Amino acid sequence: MYRIRLFAIRHSRSFEWIYKRLERAMIALDPLLGKIGYDRVERPVAFVEKCVKTVLFDCKMCGQCVLSSTGMSCPMNCPKQLRNGPCGGVRPGGFCEVKPDMKCVWALAWDGASRMKGGAQIHTVLPPVERNLEGSSSWLRVSREKAAHLRKAREKRRTAIADAFPDARKNEPSAAPLAEEPAQAVKGSK
């Protein structure tokens, strides 16, 4: 697996392209996934994701995939699981402090990022891993995130109307509603 991982980092640019497509597909699938229920698809999707990503990246299913920001080198393979590496212990030749036979995950990450279109993302400071998300699907998280973003934009619009017509809302709440609307009640939403 280690060799496939190195291959993926060497071809970080191609994998970046594939990942972008996958992300778009996951976002497009949000309405469908929402209908089936994210809860119901969580396990099967996580299973498929685990199989694919374990082969390609030695994925550890942290649930918070940041491959696009780390040169397609999975940071969970770093024995210190750094999210902003490399540490100060890298050995001569770029080998790991803790596992001397392994190339430093983060030296590879910076190398991989230098070949990617969006490689500059590696300069962003990443937060610590939320351990309670371990084992869950990152792919589904991406589509949910996008959906949440859309919902937020919709909310903002509704709030703006309600704020602009406060008196109308006081007399007739349904003139500028703020409560959550069920999908069936709104035309055009699936």
Partner 1 sequence: MSQPYSAPPEGHVSHSRLERVLRSGRFAITAELNPPDSADPADVYEAARPLGEVADAINATDASGANCHMSSIGISALLTRAGYSPVYQISCRDRNRIAIQGDVLGAAAMGVSNVLCLTGDGVGVGDQPGAKPVFDFDSLSLLRTIKTMRDERKFLSGRTIKNPPQLFLGAAENPCIPPYDWRPERLAKKVEAGAEYIQTNYIYDVPLFEKFMARVRDLGLDKKVYILAGVGPLASARAARWMRSNVPGIHVPDAVIDRMEKAEKPGQEGKKICVELIQQMREIAGVSGVHVMAYRKEHEVSEIIRESGVLASRKR
The dihedral through the CA atoms of 61, 62, 64, 69 has a sign that is negative
Task: Give the whole-angstrom CA distance, residue 30 versus residue 108.
Answer: 33
CB of 86 to partner 1, least distance (A): 7
| Rounded distance between C-alpha atoms, residue 88 and residue 70, angstroms | 18
Query: 41 vs 129, which CB is nearer to partner 1?
Result: 129
Q: What does 122-176 look like in DSSP terms, one character per residue?
A: GGSPPPPP-GGGTTS-HHHHHHHHHHHHHHHHHHHHHHHHHHH-HHHHHH-GGGS
Nearer to partner 1 among residue 26 and residue 74 (C-beta): 74
Provide, rounded to whole angstroms, the least separation between the CB of residue 117 and partner 1: 18
Q: In this chain, which of 44, 118, 128, 135 binds partner 1, going by CB under 8 A? A: 128
Considering only residues 68 through 127, tell me which ones interact with partner 1, judged by CB under 8 A.
Answer: 79-94, 97-98, 104, 107, 110-111, 123, 125-127
DSSP secondary structure letter of residue 36: H
What type of residue sits at position 40?
R
Binding of residue 9 to partner 1 (CB under 8 A): no
Q: How far is the CB of 91 from partner 1 (least distance, A)?
A: 8
Binding site for partner 1 (CB under 8 A): 79-94, 97-98, 104, 107, 110-111, 123, 125-128, 131
